[in-house]
Structure 1
Amino acid sequence: MGGRMGGVRFVMVASIAMGLVVGKDAAFAQGGSEHVETLPPVEVTAPSQGVKRGRPRETRRIVRPQPRVAIPTTPASTPSSASAIDADKVPGSVNVVDTRLIERTGSPNITDALQQSVPSVNISEVTGNPFQPNLEFRGFVASPVSGTPQGLAVYQNGVRINEAFGDTVNWDLIPTLAIKSVTVVTNNPAFGLNALGGAVDLRMKDGFSYQGTELSVIGGSFGRIQGSGQWGKTIDNNYAVYGALEGVHDDGFRNFSQSDIRRFYGDIAYKNDANEFHLNMGVADNKFGATATVPAELLQQYWGATYTTPQTSHNQVGYFNLTGKVEATPTWTIEGAAHLRFFKQSTQDANPTGTQPCDDPTLLCFGDSSTPAFGLNGVQLSNPFPSDAFLGENDRTSTRSTTAGFSLQATNDDKLFGHGNHFTVGTSIDTSVTWFNASAELGTFGSNYVFNGSGIFLGPSGSPVTDGPVSLRTTNQYIGLFALDTFDVTDRFSITGGGRFNTANVNLQDQLGTALNGNHDYNRFNPVIGGTYKITPELTFYAGYSEANRAPTPLELGCADPAHPCTIASFLVSDPDLKQVVSHTIEAGLRGTRELNIGTLSWKLGGFRAKNTDDILDIPSPILQGFGYFQNVGDTRRQGIEAEVNLKSSVLQVYASYSFIDARFLNSLLLGSNSPFADANGNIQVSPGDQIPAIPRHRIKAGIDYAVTDQFRIGGDAIWVSSQYFIGDASNQAPKLPSYAVVNAHASYQINKTFQIFGRIDNIFDNRYATYGTFFDTGQLPNFANGGAPFTDPRSLSPARPRAFYAGLKATF
C-alpha cells in the first residue's frame, strides 16, 4: 500500500480560539434514520425522528418509543427492519452508544465515548498515546498492543477488525466521524472467535441515514489541530453516497509523543422496497510516538518524561466491504457480506539489551559475560562501544496482513405454533495471510534516554534466550456455522436458544529456518440459552447463559516456551502448542423505561459471572528482564454488577452509572514476574482468589447536558476509577496503582443555521494520575535526571493527559 495509502491527505485550516469547551453538532436535536435499522449483527436504533441532516431543526420535546434491536447473528446483516426484534427480547445487557453520545465527547477517539457511556468500560493508555488505548470491558481487553491476551471481538459494518497476527485492535484506524452507533454485546457466542467477554459492533453512516454537508476545525492544547468533513446524499430515493474525512495532528504532552492521523471512509448504496446493497471502503495512514510507561521517579520531576526513545508506530489500512440484503419472501430475508482488508504496521521500540561486554571486553556476550552474542553472519560480535556506554537495542518489526472472507445468513419470521418466532441460520469464512519480520540493532543510550544506533544487528544469541532476526509467514482460517432462534412463549415471555460451531487453523512457516514451523487446529461448539419476561409494560427481567472460545494467535503460538522466552511482539523463538480459552458466562438483570413529564427515564440493574478455562497470560521471563512468553494459567473468573440510570429530553440529559468488576485467579500458580517481590528465581506464587492485575474493581460515571437556550448548551461529565494492581503483581503483594477521578466540561453556541462554535475542557482540576502501571528493572539504566544515581522505585507508569483546552468551529449545509 505504500506510505501514502491511497493518497489520503487532509489539509488543516487555522483553528479559532475560544474560552468555553465542546458542544454537539448543529443537528443536536435530530435523531437517526426514519426506519428501524439492523446493525450487523446488533443495533438498538435511535428514536424515529427523521433523517439526520446537516442543518439543525427546531428544538422540540421528543417522546421516545421502545427501541428495537436486531437479534445477534453473523455480522453480515444490513439495515433491515425485517430482522429487528424488540430490545426487551434480548437475554443480556444492551449497551448502545449513538451519534449524539459520540458527538458530545468532542473526541476523535471512539473509545472516549464508550468509556463515558458504557458502565463496565475502562480505558488505559498502555502505549502512552491517547489514540492507541486499551479498552477493557468486564475485565476483558481489546488492545492495540501486541502480546496483550485479547478478549473482545470488534466489528465494523459486520467485518471483524481484530488484526490477524495478534488479534489486536487498532482503534486509531476507525473514522470516528463516520460512526452512526456502537453496540457493546454480551452473552452471545454468535460473534465467533475471541468474543470471550463480548463484542463491540460499530455501524457506519451512509447516504440514506445522513444527508448534508458538515465541515469542522478544532485546535487547542499540546499542538492539537484537527479537521474533518462529511457529506451524504440520496439520489432518486434509491441511491445514496456518503464520505467522511478526518485529519489530526497532536504534539502530545510527553516528549516524543507526536501523533498524525489521516483516515477516510466512504459508502455507495442502493435500495428498493425489498433489497439493499452497500459498497463501503476506507483507508488510513497514521503515525504515533507511543511513549509507553516511564519510571515513577522521572514523573516526579517532569510529568511529560519518557524513558527510552524511539518508540514509534506506523499503521496503514485499506479495506473494501460489499454487503447485501434480499427479501426473498415476505418472511425470509437473505443477507450476506464479502470483505477484503490490507493492514501494515511498522514499529520501533528502543530498549535496554541483554547484550553486554564479555569477560574479554573486546567481544560482546548475551545474557551473561560468557555466552557469545552473534551477528547476522553467525560470527561473535566484537565490542566497538566505550567501556562506560549504556548499551541498548532498537527492536524493529514489520507486520503485513491480508484478510478476506464472506458471511451469509437467512432470517425467517414465520409464526411457530401460532406464536411469534425469529429464526436465523448462517455461516462465515475468514482467511488471513501475515508476513512478520523483526530485527534488533545494537547501540547506546544518551543521558536523555534517546537511542543512538550503531548499524550492528544482533543475530540469534543466548541460551536459552534468543534475540535475533525473525521472518515468519502465518495463515489463519476461521470457519463458523450458527443457528439462533427467539420464540415468543407468550406476549410477555420469550426464549432464545442456539449456538455456533467454530473451527480455526493457524499455520506458521519459518522463513529463516524451521524452529517456528507449526500447524494448529482448534474446534468448538458454543451454546447460548436465555429468556426475557416483561413483568410490566415498563419493566423487563432477562437472564442468559453462553459460551465462547478464543484460539491462540500466531504471535502467542510463536512465543509459548518458558525455556525459550522472547521479546514480546518482537522476536518469536519457539512453537509449542497452547490450549484454546473457553469462557462460560451467565448474566441476569432488570431493565425498564418510563415516560415522565420531564423526559424519558430508563434504567437497568444486572449481574454477571464469566469463568475462563485455560486462560492465556503473557508471563515475564525470570531469566532476562524485558523477555517473556505466553502460557495457559488455568481458570480465571470475572464477575460483577452494573447499574445505570438515564433521563433524556430535548432540554436535559442526565446519566449516572456504577459497575463492580471482581477478577480473580482460581488456581495456584508459580509465575515468572518482574515484580520486586519475585523470589531469587524470578517467580511469584499466585494463590486462588488473588486479583488479576490492571482491572479496577469500581467505576462510577455521571454526566449532564442542558440547553440553556435553543442556541446555547452546556454540559459535563465525571469518571472515578478505583485502584488496581500493577501488571506483574499477580500475587497482590505490592501497593496498588492509586484510584483517580477526572472531570470534563463542554459547551456550544449555535450562531445561525450554518455555524456553531464549541469547545471543551478536559481534566478541569488538572489531576495527575496514571491509568496503567507495571514494573521495570531499576538496574538497567541510571536515573540521569538525578545525577546518574540508580533508580530505587521499580514502578513504571503511564501518565494521563493534564488539563487541556480545545475549541472549534463547525459549519453545516
Structure 2
Amino acid sequence: MQYAPPVPIRKPLAILIALLGAVTTASAAETVELAPVEVVGTTPLPGINLPKDQVPANVQLMNSRQLRDAGGPSLAENLQRKMPSVNVNEVQGNPYQADLNYRGFSASPLLGTPQGLSVFLDGVRVNEPFGDVVNWDLIPQTAIATMTLVPGSNPLYGLNTLGGALALQTKRGDTHPGGALEVYGGAFNRRGGSIEHGGKRGELSWYVAAEGMKEDGWRDRSPSEVGQLFGKLAWTRGETDVALTLAHADTDLIGNALVPESILRQRREAIFTHPDQTRNRSSLLALSGSHWLNDQDQISGTVYARRTLTRTLNGDLNDEFGDEFAEWAAAGFPAGAEPESGALNRTRTGQTAAGIALQWSRIAGAHQFSVGVSHDRSHANFRQSEQAGELTANRGISATGDEEQVNSLLGRTRTTSLYATDTVALAPTLHLTGSLRYNRTRVINSDRMGDALNGDFTYHKLNPALGLTWQATPALTVYGGFTQGNRAPTPIELGCADPENACSLPNAMAADPFLRQVVTRTVELGVRGKLAGNTQWNATAFRSTNRDDILFVGTGGSLGFFTNFGQTRRQGVELGLSGEIGAFDWQANYSYLDATFQSSACLLAENNSTEGQGGCPDDEIRVARGDRLPGLPKHSLKLGVDWHATEVLRVGADLIAYSGRYVRGNENNRHEPEDGFEGRGKLPGYGVVNLRADYQLARGWTLFGRIDNLFDKRYATAGALAENPFVGPDNAFVVDPGEWRHEQFVAPGAPRSAWVGVRYAWKGI
C-alpha cells in the first residue's frame, strides 16, 4: 500500500518548505541561545526518556504552572486554550462534559461519539471500557505535574490511539514539596478551591490533594458539583522506586445540551428539555515501580484496579410520539387515548477494570530500546429504563407511567498487548525510531433480556511505526514518520451492529459500533528550531487516514444499523512560535485542518433539506468524497501574551479564534434554509479573548482574577439539524407532528464571566 501524498497536501508542504528556508536563513544570521534540553517519555510506563529533538513528531508539553495559568474550569478547556490543533465542542453545555478534538479526533464523555484519542494517568488508561469515553470530571487537575500530547497513531499507546495520546503524570512529594491552598468565586455562583501538600522524609515521600467546585451554571437549571481526592505514597532507595496512587472523584453534572436557534434568540440562557443529569463516581488504585538493574537496564511495571459508576437521568420527547399520534388520529382522537409526549430515560453503568503492564528498557551502544507486555480486563454492567411522562409548560417531564427496563447488557473485554521500540543513533545528529505493537482484544456481550445483543468477537492487529529525526544544526531539527493504530469496538457499540435488529439501543449511545475494527495510518513531516533570544518555532504537516470507519446507515424511516463506511481523512498543518521580549512572554499557534469523508454512502439525516436526493431513500442524504466532517473548524488561531508589569504583578491575555464548522446532520455540506427547513447547516467562526492577572500580596500569598469572553461574544461551538416541537405561542408544545419545524440546534458558548481568588503557597510548590 503506497502513501505518496496526492495533490491536496502539496500546498501545506509548500508552506513548510518556504518556512524552513526562511527560518534556516534567520538562524544562520544570528547567534542562537540554546534552551535546556526537554525530555519526553516514549511509552505510557516509566522508562528511559528521550530528548524531544529525537522524537519524530510534534510532541506538545505542559507543566503544572502552565496548566494553572490557563485558568479554565476543566482540563479539556485548558487544553483548548494552550495546545495547538485542539478545539472543544460543548455539546452538553457543561465545561466538564466537553468533546475535545485534536487534529479532528475526539475524546468525549458521550457514549456513541467516535472516540479516537487515548488518555493515560500515571500509565493507566482512563478511557472507560464500555464506550472508550473520557470523563474529564474524574481527572484530578490539581495533582497533574506534566502533560504530554503525543500526535498521530502511535502504536505504543495501544488501542484507541488513532489521532493521538494524552499522557498525564501526577505530582510526588519528592518533586513537588510544600503545599498550596486556593479558594475562588464569581460568575454563575461558581465557588471552589483546592488544597495540596507534598513532602519527603528519608526514603519515603507523599503527596495529597483535594479539590472541589460547585456552581449554578449560566443556563437555566444547570447546577453542577465536582469533588476529587488524590494521594500518592512513594518509596525510593538507590535504583528502586515504588509508588502507590489512590484517586477518587464524585461528581454531579447537569448538561442541558443543544437548544433550537428560535428559542435561543429569545433568551440566551434557555434550554430545550430537562432534566439532563450525569452522576459519576470513580476510584483508582495503582501500584507502579521501576528498578535499574545496572547502568544500562531498567525494568518498570504497573498494576491497577479501577471502578466507575455512572448514572444518567434525561428528560426527552417520546421517541414513539409520531407513530402513536398517527394511530390516535386514525381512531378519531378518542379522549383518554392521547399519546404521552415525554419520557424519562435512565441508565446505570457500573464498570470495573484491572490490568498489569511490565517493561524492560535498555541502553546498548547506539541503541535505546524498550520491550513490554500488558494485559487489561474489564467488566461493564449496563442497565437502561424508560418512564412515560408528559411535557410540562417549562419543557420538563412529569412522570405518568411506571419505570420499565428496556436494556440490560453485560459487557466484558480482554486485551493483551506486546510491544517493542528502538531508537538507534545512525549518527550523532541522526536518529531512527522503529516500533511494533500487537493487540489482541476479545469482546463478549451478554443480553440479559433476550439474545439480540449477544456476541463474542476477537480482534487482532499488528501496528508498526517508523520515524527519523535529523538535527541539521544545534538550532534546527527535521523529522518525519509513519504510525499506525487501531480501535477495537466496545461492548456498547456492538449492541447496534446487526442489520436484522435495527438499533435497539438509543442512537445517541451507539454511534460507532463494530463490523471491522478501525485502522488509522498517519504520516507526519516537520521542522522545529530555535532563534536568537530563545525564540522557539515549529512547523508540521500531517495526514491521518481512517479505514473501515463506521457510520449509521438508514434502512428507511428512523431505523438503521451501523456498518463500515470506507475512509475518512484528516490532514493539515501546524505552525507555532513562542518567545520572550523584555517583560513579555508570548506565543502564537495556527492550525489548518482538512477533515473529510473519502467514501460515499447514504446516511440518515431527515432534517436536512436535501434528504431523499442523490439516489438515497427519504430521510437520508448522500455523503460524497470531499464532504467535510461536522464539528471541526478548518482554521484555528491561538495567541497568548503575559506581561510582567512589576515584580509582583503579572497580566496576561489569550485569543482563541476558529473558522466556521458544519453541524451534525449536514454531513453532505449541502443543507440550505428553504420551505420547511431552517438553519444554515453551518456555524460561523468566532474569536474569544480571556484575561488573567496575578498580584503577589505578600510572601506566599497571591491574589488572582480571571475574565473569560471579555467582549461577551455570542457564539456556538457545536450544532445539529433536528426537529423542534415547541413552535406554539410562548414556545408551547404542538401536538400535531406535522407542524413541527426542522431547525438548527446549537450549543451556545458561555457569556462574559469573571472570578477572583486567593492562593497561599508554602515551600515552593
TM-score, scaled to structure 1:
0.84
Deviations 1:713-760 (A, max 9, x none): 000000111111111111111231111110000001001112111001
Give the Cα–Cα distance (whole angstroms) in 1 for the partners of residues 554 and 218 of structure 2.
Answer: 30
Give the Cα–Cα distance (whole angstroms) in 1 for the partners of residues 553 and 222 of structure 2.
Answer: 28
Cross-structure match for 2:388: 442
Q: Alignment partner for residue 608 of structure 2, among 670, 676, 689?
A: 676
Structural RMSD (CA): 2.3
Q: Alignment partner for residue 614 of structure 1, among 548, 558, 569?
A: 548
Deviation at 1:671, TM superposition (A): 1.1
Aligned 8 A contact 2:553 2:602 in 1: no
Tell me: CA distance 1:721–1:628, structure 2 relative to 1, closer, same or farther (3 Å): farther
Give the Cα–Cα distance (whole angstroms) in 2 for the partners of residues 494 and 718 of structure 1.
Answer: 37
Deviation at 1:578, TM superposition (A): 1.2
Q: Which has the higher contact order (CA 8 A, sep 6+)?
A: 1
Matched, 1:369 2:369: no
Give the Cα–Cα distance (whole angstroms) in 1 for the partners of residues 361 and 598 of structure 2.
Answer: 41
Give the Cα–Cα distance (whole angstroms) in 1 for the partners of residues 466 and 418 of structure 2.
Answer: 17
Give the Cα–Cα distance (whole angstroms) in 2 for the partners of residues 541 and 572 of structure 1.
Answer: 42
SS at match of 2:427: coil
Matched, 1:483 2:428: no
Cross-structure match for 1:224: 190
Give the Cα–Cα distance (whole angstroms) in 2 for the partners of residues 384 and 569 of structure 1.
Answer: 32
Tell me: CA distance 1:340–1:240, structure 2 relative to 1, closer, same or farther (3 Å): same
Deviations 1:111-143 (A, max 9, x none): 222112211000111111111111100000000
Deviation at 1:194, TM superposition (A): 0.5
Is the deviation greater in 781-790 or in 500-509?
A: 781-790
Matches within 5 A, 1:95-134: 95-134=60-99
Tell me: CA distance 1:475–1:384, structure 2 relative to 1, closer, same or farther (3 Å): farther
Aligned 8 A contact 2:389 2:398 in 1: yes
Q: Alignment partner for residue 591 of structure 2, among 642, 645, 659?
A: 659
Deviations 1:500-548 (A, max 9, x none): 0011100000111111110011100000001000111000000000110
Q: Alignment partner for residue 801 of structure 1, among 736, 750, 764?
A: 750
Cross-structure match for 2:144: 179
Cross-structure match for 1:549: 486
Deviation at 1:272, TM superposition (A): 2.2
Q: Alignment partner for residue 463 of structure 2, among 518, 526, 531?
A: 526
Aligned 8 A contact 1:133 1:143 in 2: yes
Identity of aligned pairs, percent? Answer: 36
Aligned 8 A contact 1:561 1:576 in 2: no
Deviations 1:158-182 (A, max 9, x none): 0000001110000011111111111
Aligned 8 A contact 2:325 2:338 in 1: no
Q: Alignment partner for residue 233 of structure 1, among 199, 216, 241?
A: 199
Tell me: CA distance 1:787–1:501, structure 2 relative to 1, closer, same or farther (3 Å): closer
Gaps of 5+ in 1: 1-61, 358-364, 373-382, 459-467
Bigger share in strand:
2
Matches within 5 A, 1:419-434: 420-434=366-380
AA in 2 matched with 1:66:
V
Cross-structure match for 1:414: 364
Tell me: CA distance 1:545–1:809, structure 2 relative to 1, closer, same or farther (3 Å): same
Deviation at 1:87, TM superposition (A): 0.9
Q: Alignment partner for residue 630 of structure 1, among 542, 547, 562?
A: 562
Cross-structure match for 2:262: 297
Cross-structure match for 2:628: 691
Deviations 1:530-577 (A, max 9, x none): 10001110000000001100011111110124551245377889x995
Deviations 1:751-786 (A, max 9, x none): 1112111001000000111000001123x4444534
Give the Cα–Cα distance (whole angstroms) in 1 for the partners of residues 253 and 707 of structure 2.
Answer: 23
Deviation at 1:652, TM superposition (A): 2.6
Is the deviation greater in 742-751 or in 630-639?
A: 630-639
Bigger share in helix:
2
Matched, 1:259 2:224: yes
Deviation at 1:406, TM superposition (A): 0.7
Give the Cα–Cα distance (whole angstroms) in 2 for the partners of residues 281 and 745 of structure 1.
Answer: 35
Deviation at 1:609, TM superposition (A): 0.5
Give the Cα–Cα distance (whole angstroms) in 2 for the partners of residues 795 and 386 of structure 1.
Answer: 34
Deviations 1:313-337 (A, max 9, x none): 0011001010000001210000100
Tell me: CA distance 1:222–1:274, structure 2 relative to 1, closer, same or farther (3 Å): same
Tell me: CA distance 1:446–1:124, structure 2 relative to 1, closer, same or farther (3 Å): same
Tell me: CA distance 1:651–1:576, structure 2 relative to 1, closer, same or farther (3 Å): closer
Give the Cα–Cα distance (whole angstroms) in 2 for the partners of residues 404 and 502 of structure 1.
Answer: 17
Aligned 8 A contact 2:441 2:458 in 1: yes
Deviation at 1:676, TM superposition (A): 2.2
Deviation at 1:76, TM superposition (A): 2.4
TM-score, scaled to structure 2:
0.89
Give the Cα–Cα distance (whole angstroms) in 1 for the partners of residues 235 and 334 of structure 2.
Answer: 66
* Residues paired across the two proteins, number: 708
Q: Alignment partner for residue 244 of structure 2, among 269, 272, 279?
A: 279
Gaps of 5+ in 2: 1-32, 672-679
Cross-structure match for 2:131: 166
Give the Cα–Cα distance (whole angstroms) in 2 for the partners of residues 168 and 674 of structure 1.
Answer: 27
Tell me: CA distance 1:224–1:710, structure 2 relative to 1, closer, same or farther (3 Å): same
Is the deviation greater in 326-335 or in 587-596?
A: 587-596
Give the Cα–Cα distance (whole angstroms) in 1 for the partners of residues 106 and 560 of structure 2.
Answer: 19
Give the Cα–Cα distance (whole angstroms) in 2 for the partners of residues 557 and 488 of structure 1.
Answer: 45
Deviations 1:563-610 (A, max 9, x none): 51245377889x9951100001000100012451xxx21110010001
Tell me: CA distance 1:622–1:243, structure 2 relative to 1, closer, same or farther (3 Å): farther
Give the Cα–Cα distance (whole angstroms) in 2 for the partners of residues 628 and 200 of structure 1.
Answer: 34
Give the Cα–Cα distance (whole angstroms) in 1 for the partners of residues 409 and 732 of structure 2.
Answer: 43
SS at match of 1:751: strand
Aligned 8 A contact 1:354 1:367 in 2: no
Tell me: CA distance 1:289–1:628, structure 2 relative to 1, closer, same or farther (3 Å): farther
Q: Alignment partner for residue 246 of structure 1, among 200, 211, 222?
A: 211
Give the Cα–Cα distance (whole angstroms) in 2 for the partners of residues 486 and 143 of structure 1.
Answer: 33
Q: Alignment partner for residue 771 of structure 1, among 717, 726, 730?
A: 717
